[in-house]
Amino acid sequence: MNVGESINRGKTLLQLRRPADAERELRGVLAVEPQQGMAQCLLALALIQQGRAGEAVAVAQEAVRLAPDHWYSHYVAGQVYYRANLADHAIAAAQASLAADPGQAAVWELLARGHMLKGQWRQMADAARRGLAIDPEVPDLVSLLSLAHTKLGEAEPARAAAAHALRLDPESATAHLVSGRAALAFGDPKAAVDSFREVLRLDPGFGSARDLLVTALKQRNPLQQTLSKLRRRYRGGWRLVFLLPVAPPLIAVFVLVALLHWAAWVSESVTVLRLARAKATRLLFEGAEARVALACCALVAGGTAVLGLGIALGLEAVGTAGVAVMALVTAVQEATHTGSPRGRKTLYGWTGLLVATIAVAVIAGAPVVALVSVYAELGTIWVAAGVRRFFLDHSAAEG
C-alpha cells in the first residue's frame, strides 16, 4: 500500500462528501500504520461527517496525542468538537492550535464559530477580525463578522460586512444568509426575503434559511410588525409580579401582556395558514406547522361561535367557555414552539387539562370555572417560560 496515495484519496473523498468511503480508505492506512497522525485527523473528520460524534472525538484525541505540538491536530479536534456542539472544547482546541501557530486564518474562523455556539458575540467578532488580518479574502470569516455585529445590534458594521462577503463570493449561501439576517434584524424584511430565497436557491437543504424566510415573510405583515414591537416592549413584564403586593393595579399590565401574546399568536396562525396555502410559499411549511395554524384558526372561529351561542341563549357558562376556547390558541402555540420534547409534552398535557376544565365548566354550568380557565390559558406564556427554563437547566445539568 502506498500510504501517501491512500491519504490523498481519503482527502479527495471527504471533499466529495463521501465520508463513508473516506473512512474505509483511512482505516486501511491505519491498519498498516496505526501511528499515522494525518490519517487519524482525516478519519476523525470522516466520522463526524457521518454523525458519529463519540467515535470522532476519540479518534481526534488520539490524533492530538500523536502530534501534540502541531496546529493541525488541535484544529481537527476543534472541528470535531464544534460539529458535536461542544463549544467549550472547540474553543480550547482552537486556542491550543493558535498557540502552536497563530498564523492560520482557518483556526481563527473555528474560534469565532466556537464563540458563536456560546453566544459570545464580542469574542466572536474579535476572532473573526484576527483571522481577516491574516487573510482578508475569506468570505466565511467576513460573514461571521457580519453575524456578530448583527447580534450585537450594530447595524452599519453588520450590513457593511455582509456586503463585503457578497462581493467576495456572490455564490456563497452563507454570505446571503448573513445579509438576510442583518436586513431582518434592522427592519428590512423585504430585503431579507430576497436574501433567504437566494440562500435556498443556492442550497435547498439550508434548513435555517427556510425558517428565517418564513419569519421574514411574516414580518412583512404590518399587523405582525406592530405586535412584535409591543411584545418586545413588554417582554420583561413578568418581573412586575413582585410589585403586585404594593401596587395591585399592575395586574392590568399582565393582562395587556397576555392579550398581546394571544393577538400575536392568532396573527401568526393566520399568516402561516395563508402562506401554507399560497402556491409560491406552500413548500416552506411542514404539514404539522400548517395543521397547527389551521387548528388555531379553528379555535378562534369555534370559540366565537360558542360565545355567540351563549349570548343568544343567555347561558353565561357557555359564553365564557367560548372565550376560553379562543384563548386556547396561546396554550397550543406555546406548546408547539417549545424546543425540548419533554417540555413540549408537558405543555401539551397542560393544554389537555385546560380543555378538560372548559368541558367541566360547560357541563356543570359554572362560568367561574370557565373564566379561571381563560386566565390560565392566557397566562400560559409564563407557565411555558418556566417549563422551558426547567428543562433547559435539567438538560445542562445532565450534560
pLDDT in tens, 99-114: 999 999 999 999 999 9
Question: Which candidate, 196, 225, 329, places its Cα nearest to that of 273?
Answer: 329
Residue 47: DSSP 8-state: H
Domain limits, CATH 1.25.40.10, in the chain: 1-101
Buried b (16+ CB within 10 A) or exposed e, 160-181: bbbebbbebbeebbbbbbbbbb
The rounded distance, in Å, linking the Cα atoms of 289 and 295 is 10
Q: Could you say which residues of the chain have pLDDT below 70?
A: 1, 207, 211, 214, 218, 220-251, 253, 279-287, 339, 391-399
Question: DSSP for 317-346?
Answer: HHHHHHHHHHHHHHHHHHHHT--SHHHHHH
Interior angle at CA 257, CA 252 and CA 262, nearest 5? 125
CA 293 to CA 243: how far, in whole Å? Answer: 36
Burial string for 206-220 (b: 16+ CB within 10 Å, else e) reads: beebbebbbbbbbbe
Q: How many CB atoms lie within 10 A of CB 233?
A: 11
- C-alpha 238/C-alpha 231 separation (Å) is 12
> How much is the pTM?
0.65
Query: And the C-alpha cell for 310?
Result: 351563549
C-alpha torsion sign, points 235, 236, 241, 243: negative
Listed in sequence order, the residues at least 6 apart from 139 whose beta carbon sits closer than 8 Å to its beta carbon are 165, 168, 169, 172, 174, 175
> All 3 cell numbers of residue 352?
389537555
Q: Is 381 helix (H, G, I), strand (E, B) or coil?
A: helix
Angstrom distance (rounded) from CA 351 to CA 345: 10
Distance separating alpha carbons of residues 11 and 312, to the nearest angstrom: 75
CA distance 178 to 16: 26
Distance CA 66, CA 240 (A): 58
Count of beta carbons in the 10 Å neighbourhood of residue 17:
9
Nearest-angstrom CA–CA distance, 114 and 78:
9
111/124 Cα distance (integer angstroms): 7
Cell numbers given for 78? 476543534
Say how far apart CA 337 and CA 249 lie, in whole Å: 31
Q: Which fold has domain 1-101?
A: 1.25.40
Q: Quickly tell me which residue has 464580542 as its cell.
A: 122
Q: Give pLDDT, residue 293.
A: 87
Q: CB–CB of 295/283 below 8 Å?
A: no
